[in-house]
């Protein structure tokens, strides 16, 4: 739950209320009471919160196990019948835009049901908050500095292995449906997938483009590449991709386990809801407050951040629209998410109707977060929670204990290793991520040794307002180092400052901890072969624009001014 979201009631209470509407299974009053008493976990502690605590989790696990006589013990990868896997990736879905996360008005009952029937991972991050780099990390299990896709225009090195290739080796039938977006306009079939449906670049919400208010770079109207043949787009993208997914489930070879990767265009800007959802939230306020320039200065924000306010990715000049309204964009974003939730509902219902519900691991994830005025910004790329943290929910009856709130620290680089272990498939040959399959099946976040994640973002010439950043994220303390700038670094105490608005980088009280995290950063970079800055040739349009009447240029940090070196 992002601190700037205004809560109406506790997330778990809402989850329970919604889950009771969407399933015939009813929880007992005792369980609900225990849930509210348990409360959210403390940041930095690797512990598991369940609806009724650890004892109840064990009982639920035992119940599930007993009710699924053919299943092996949770976490045992030597299952006789491999799990099918449905992986649903949503674009730019920030972590708190879920009913299950306590959102004040957004309705996502079907995504929430994954939390009720499986696990909600409350500390899931991407290691680079940008579409193509994050998606390449998901596919390869590698940091961006290793797969080296550090913009939205370059493809992945053909020598790198995608985790679905390993699933094929294990006998899986695999399918990719949706947004590929690695290498600009590439939409032809890629390695690791037996069935293929994709569109070029960002595609379009509707084939006639209606509902959009501006031209987004890499928007395309070329329809789909279906196994090498061009097919026109007929309707609303989220619904149509779901149709393709269900068609494939209906026609595939039942003798093999399957892996289906559904990669939505939604909810990428420029957000266009399905016609049936347009206007649903017209009366809802933006639950995120944009800080003032004065507040940002008082919080000792770096110059680059202050200056980004008045840029394409700033709240003062969003997408270079003079009267840009984060509130209007946010409502359209939430309305566009409704069709994604419908998609999850249709797919889970399809699995259940085919008798596959108990044999399928369903994973729902965002490829990066999104800012709506947080830190005076819009869009993503930064290491702040709104940008780097993502929703991640996993359902696997008989494997993952239901109703689990898992607060172990996981990243996009862990998806491949985790799904490969779940499938008993061979591991990736070179990988930075780790599998959290055992930990989540055992409802034991302490089984994960990782306490911090490395975050990285590499400066794009197209969008020059966000610098190269390296950060240590995922714990109570966040350290962010900018590279190649005459500017402040950042250090935040997320326990006392969850909005990351009080930069403590110059605080003598934290000097030792900052030095320690700086050393840790260089150690993590060295150990993961990250000591080089990846460079890619210039591609795509540039957006250096500033509005002449909006927020003015930041001044240098006060602490940089002195009359002699040793003043
Ligand atoms: Ca994205």
The answer to whether position 226 is within a domain reads yes
The answer to whether position 70 is within a domain reads no
Convert the pLDDT of each residue in 331-352 to its tens digit: 999 999 999 999 999 999 999 9
Q: 253 CA to middle of ligand 1, Å?
A: 32
Q: What is the pLDDT of residue 32?
A: 33
Helix or strand or coil: residue 38? helix
Convert the pLDDT of each residue in 384-403 to its tens digit: 999 999 999 999 999 999 99
Q: 132 CA to middle of ligand 1, Å?
A: 7
* Contact call for residues 268 and 92 (beta carbons, < 8 A): yes
Give CA–CA dist 176/103, Å, rounded.
Answer: 30
CATH number at residue 283: 3.40.720.10
Q: 368 CA to middle of ligand 1, Å?
A: 5
Sheet holding 477-483, edge to edge: 453-457, 468-473, 477-483, 490-493
* Contact call for residues 184 and 539 (beta carbons, < 8 A): yes
* Contact call for residues 421 and 79 (beta carbons, < 8 A): no
Write out the residue range of the structural domain in which residue 93 sits.
81-453
Q: What is the pLDDT of residue 86?
A: 98
Give CA–CA dist 542/539, Å, rounded.
Answer: 9
Q: 65 CA to middle of ligand 1, Å?
A: 37
Give CA–CA dist 175/479, Å, rounded.
Answer: 39
The answer to whether position 309 is within a domain reads yes
Q: 130 CA to middle of ligand 1, Å?
A: 5
Q: 91 CA to middle of ligand 1, Å?
A: 4
Q: 389 CA to middle of ligand 1, Å?
A: 12
The answer to whether position 566 is within a domain reads no
Q: What is the pLDDT of residue 57?
A: 36
H or E element: which one contains 567?
Answer: none
The answer to whether position 213 is within a domain reads yes
Residues with CB under 5 A from ligand 1 (ion): 91-92, 131, 367-368
The answer to whether position 41 is within a domain reads no
Q: 268 CA to middle of ligand 1, Å?
A: 7
**Residue showing tokens 């386990």:** 257
Looking at the chain, the whole-number percentage of residues with pLDDT higher than 70 is 86
Query: Left (φ > 0), alpha (ψ -120 to 50) or beta: where does 148 sit?
Result: left
- What total number of domains does the chain contain? 1
Give CA–CA dist 479/505, Å, rounded.
Answer: 8
The answer to whether position 430 is within a domain reads yes
Q: What is the pLDDT of residue 80?
A: 61
Q: What is the pLDDT of residue 462?
A: 95
Q: 266 CA to middle of ligand 1, Å?
A: 9
Q: 476 CA to middle of ligand 1, Å?
A: 25
* Contact call for residues 405 and 54 (beta carbons, < 8 A): no
> Could you tell me whether strands 124-125 and 410-411 are parallel, antiparallel, or unpaired per DSSP bridges?
parallel
Mean of pLDDT over the chain: 88
Q: 532 CA to middle of ligand 1, Å?
A: 24
Convert the pLDDT of each residue in 286-310 to its tens digit: 999 999 999 999 999 999 999 999 9
Convert the pLDDT of each residue in 22-74 to its tens digit: 333 332 333 333 333 333 333 233 333 333 333 333 333 333 333 333 333 44
pTM of the model: 0.87
The answer to whether position 476 is within a domain reads no
């Amino acid at each position: 739950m992002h601190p700037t979201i205004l809560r109406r009631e506790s997330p778990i209470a809402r989850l329970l209320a919604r889950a009771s509407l969407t399933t015939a299974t009813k929880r007992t009053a005792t369980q609900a009471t225990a849930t509210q008493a348990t409360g959210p976990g403390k940041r930095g502690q690797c512990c598991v919160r369940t609806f009724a605590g650890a004892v109840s989790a064990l009982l639920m696990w035992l119940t599930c196990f007993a009710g699924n006589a053919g299943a092996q013990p949770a976490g045992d990868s030597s299952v006789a019948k491999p799990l099918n896997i449905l992986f649903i990736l949503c674009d730019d879905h920030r972590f708190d835009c879920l009913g299950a996360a306590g959102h004040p008005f957004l309705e996502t009952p079907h995504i929430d049901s994954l939390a009720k029937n499986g696990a909600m991972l409350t500390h899931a991050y991407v290691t680079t908050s940008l579409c193509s780099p994050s998606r390449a990390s998901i596919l390869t299990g590698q940091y961006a500095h290793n797969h080296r896709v550090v913009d939205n225009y370059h493809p992945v090195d053909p020598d790198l292995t995608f985790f679905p290739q390993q699933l094929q080796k294990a006998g899986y039938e695999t399918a990719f449906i949706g947004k590929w977006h690695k290498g600009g306009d590439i939409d032809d079939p890629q390695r690791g997938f037996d069935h293929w449906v994709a569109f070029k670049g960002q595609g379009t919400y509707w084939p006639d483009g209606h509902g959009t208010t501006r031209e987004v770079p890499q928007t395309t109207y070329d329809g789909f590449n279906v196994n090498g043949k061009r097919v026109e787009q007929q309707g609303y993208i989220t619904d149509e991709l779901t149709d393709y997914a269900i068609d494939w489930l209906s026609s595939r070879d039942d003798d093999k386990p399957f892996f289906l990767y559904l990669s939505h265009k939604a909810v990428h800007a420029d957000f266009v809801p399905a016609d049936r959802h347009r206007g649903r939230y017209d009366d809802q306020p933006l639950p995120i407050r944009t800080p003032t320039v004065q507040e940002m200065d008082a919080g000792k924000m770096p110059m680059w951040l202050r200056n980004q306010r008045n840029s394409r990715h700033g709240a003062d000049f969003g997408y270079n629209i003079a009267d840009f309204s984060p509130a209007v964009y946010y409502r359209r974003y939430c309305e566009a998410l409704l069709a994604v939730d419908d998609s999850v509902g249709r797919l889970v219902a399809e699995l259940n109707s085919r008798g596959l519900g108990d044999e399928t691991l369903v994973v729902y994830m965002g490829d990066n977060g999104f800012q709506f005025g947080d830190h005076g910004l819009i869009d993503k790329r930064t290491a702040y929670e709104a940008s780097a943290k993502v929703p991640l929910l996993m359902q696997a009856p008989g494997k993952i204990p239901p109703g689990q709130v898992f607060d172990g620290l996981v990243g996009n680089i862990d998806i491949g290793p985790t799904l490969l272990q779940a499938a008993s498939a061979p591991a990736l040959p070179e990988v930075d991520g780790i599998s959290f399959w055992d930990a989540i099946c055992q409802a034991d976040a302490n089984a994960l040794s990782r306490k911090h994640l490395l975050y990285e973002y590499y400066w794009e010439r197209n969008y020059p307002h966000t610098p190269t950043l390296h950060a240590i994220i995922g714990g109570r303390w966040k350290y962010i180092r900018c590279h190649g700038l005459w500017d402040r670094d950042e250090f935040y105490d997320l326990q006392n400052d969850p909005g990351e608005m009080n930069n403590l980088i110059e605080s003598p009280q934290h000097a030792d901890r900052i030095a320690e995290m700086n050393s840790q950063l260089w150690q993590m970079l060295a150990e993961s072969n990250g000591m080089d800055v990846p460079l890619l040739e210039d591609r795509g349009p540039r957006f250096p624009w500033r509005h002449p009447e909006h927020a003015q240029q930041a001044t240098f940090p006060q602490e940089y001014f002195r009359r002699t070196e040793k003043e």
